[in-house]
Amino acid sequence: MELKGKTAIITGAGRGIGEGIALAVARAGANVVVNDMNFENAQGVVKTIESGGGKALAFKADVTKKAEIDAMVAATVAKFGTVDILVNNAGIESSPMLLKDIPEKQWDRVLGVNLKGVFLCCQAVIPVMMNHNKGRIININSLAGRRMTFFGSADYTASKHGGVGLTLHLAWELAESHITVNAICPGATLTPLAEAGTTPEYREMVTKRLVPLGRWCTPDDIGGAVIYFASDNADMVTGQLLDVDGGVMTGYGEDLRPIVRKRMEELRAKAG
């Protein structure tokens, strides 16, 4: 078990990619703090981990609130003794719309969760990791941080590019403390939320036009990449972006702007 004896905090882990990561990290032997705003979902993931013989703690905390994040880190240290791994997974995106139509409140919310949340969580765990002269910070980013998104809007793209910059800067800043900082950039990932928000026909269209390996990612695919970055195998890996995307970044594909704009119109009409 590659992570036996380690303790990991995973934000936004009550469902979807975060849940997949939490379960993968637990199977690898780590103690897991399952953070989510939906405490019931977090408790459900904890029960699954405990039923498999693992140790876990559910913790409700808003990643945009410093006091709540500090309390979560303190609770982790009190229960498990330290924090070895932080996975910044919590993130949101809005319905796709053009920049000229994005409300200021929406912009602030997306940047708050996706970028400020990463900043606050890193800031809270860094002193603990520095005290042990070792740690792993893994940011779940997006292909939107490498290029842009056609699933969301410019606010999401901006937040994910900021996450890439924060990852690179922290990797340099924390290297002398033997804390590695890396990011994973998933492609389209099949989660319950993605299934609810898209049709099978739409997903098939995206796959055929954009994904050389012929399928959407799964939470388990992302979990496997997290295990690598968190393990001793990645001792000399920091400041890296790992695309888990089925080959999307090879450049295979076509101009989807007409399709995306049609989808924007359909969503707007549906919302009334």
Would you name the residues annotated as active-site residues? 156
Spatial neighbors of 181 by CB under 8 A, at least 6 apart, are 122, 137, 138, 139, 167, 170, 171, 174, 238, 239
Cα–Cα dist 236/229, whole Å: 10
Cα–Cα dist 271/152, whole Å: 16
Cα–Cα dist 96/186, whole Å: 18
DSSP state of 95: P
- Return the ∠ at Cα 194 (arms to 188 and 198), rounded to 5°: 100
Tokens 């330290």 sit on residue: 82
DSSP state of 112: I
- Return the ∠ at Cα 170 (arms to 167 and 175), rounded to 5°: 125
Report the DSSP beta bridge partners of residue 183: 139, 241
User: E strand or H helix at 138, and its extent?
Assistant: strand 135-140
Cα–Cα dist 24/272, whole Å: 41
Provide the greatest CA pair distance for the chain: 54
Spatial neighbors of 142 by CB under 8 A, at least 6 apart, are 91, 149, 156, 160, 185, 186
